[in-house]
Amino acid sequence: MKPYHDLTHLVDQNTYHPFGGAYFRNVQMFSSHGCRHAYITMSLHFGTHMDAPWHMVEKGKRLDEIDIRELIGEAVIVDLSNLYGPGIKNGSPISKEDLESALAKQSLQLKPRDAILIYTGWMDLFHSDPVRYFRSYCTLGKEAAEWLVQKRVRLIGLDVSDIDLPSAYESAPFHPTNHRLVLGSGIYVIENVGGELPNLVGKRVLLIPAPFHLGGEYASGAPIRLLAQEI
C-alpha cells in the first residue's frame, strides 16, 4: 500500500491569523490534576480548513448537510510555483491560460468530479512570514475559477489563505466573487493546504478531507485534517 501524506498545517499557540490567533487556556494541569486539558478559541476558518457553501452563499449547505463521502475521491495536484510563487509575483490572479497550460505540461487530466489542489509555493510562508502570506498571496483569477466550475470539479484546494484576493475584503459588505461562484456551484473549498503537498505536485491522488463534524447556524466551515495517497 502506498503511504498517506498529510497536507495539513500545524496549528499551535504561535500560529498567526490577521483576525487573531488561536487562544489556549489550561483548565487542568498534570501537576494538579494528573492530566492535561485546555480550552481553545479560534476562528472556524483557521489553519487548513474547509469552506461550506453556507460561508458565502445565503442559502448554501452547512457542514452538517454535507456527506463526507462527497468530499473523498481522486484529485490532481498542479504546480504553479514557477509562475506565482512568493519570489515571483505578489497578489496576482492566476490566469485560466496558465492553469490550463500547467495541467497539460504536467500531464494531468482534469476529469468531472475530480478535486484540484493548486500549489503556488506560498505555503512556505505560513509559519515563516505569515503577515506577507496573508497580505500578498496569489490565487485564482475570475476566469480560472469560472473554468474550474465548467470542468465540474467537486473541490478546489489551494496552498494560500483564500480563493479570493485580499481586495475582496477591503470593506463590508465583502465581494468575494470566487467564493460565491464556486460555493454557489456546489464546489467545496479548502484553504491553507500545506504539509507534504510539495511531495505530490504533478500527481493524481486519492484525497481524504475530514472536517470537524459541526452542525447548526455556525457551520460555515471548520478546520480539517487533509490526507492524500498517490494513485
CATH number, domain at 93? 3.50.30.50
In a domain, 16, yes or no: no
Give residue 19's pLDDT.
85
Residue 108 lies in a domain: yes
Is residue 54 one of the residues assigned to a domain? yes
pLDDT at residue 20, as a whole number: 85
In a domain, 21, yes or no: no
Task: Give a yes or no: residue 105 inside a domain.
Answer: yes
Q: What is the pTM of this model?
A: 0.96
Give domain status of residue 22, yes or no.
no
Domain ranges, residue 185: 4-11+43-230
Residue 156 lies in a domain: yes
- Residue 191 counted as domain residue: yes
Question: What total number of domains does the chain contain?
Answer: 1
pLDDT the model gives residue 5: 98
Contacts 24+ apart (CB under 8 A), 122-129: 122/84, 122/85, 122/86, 122/159, 122/160, 123/9, 123/159, 123/160, 123/192, 123/193, 123/194, 123/197, 123/198, 124/86, 125/86, 126/9, 126/192, 126/194, 127/9, 127/10, 127/15
pLDDT at 230 over 90: yes
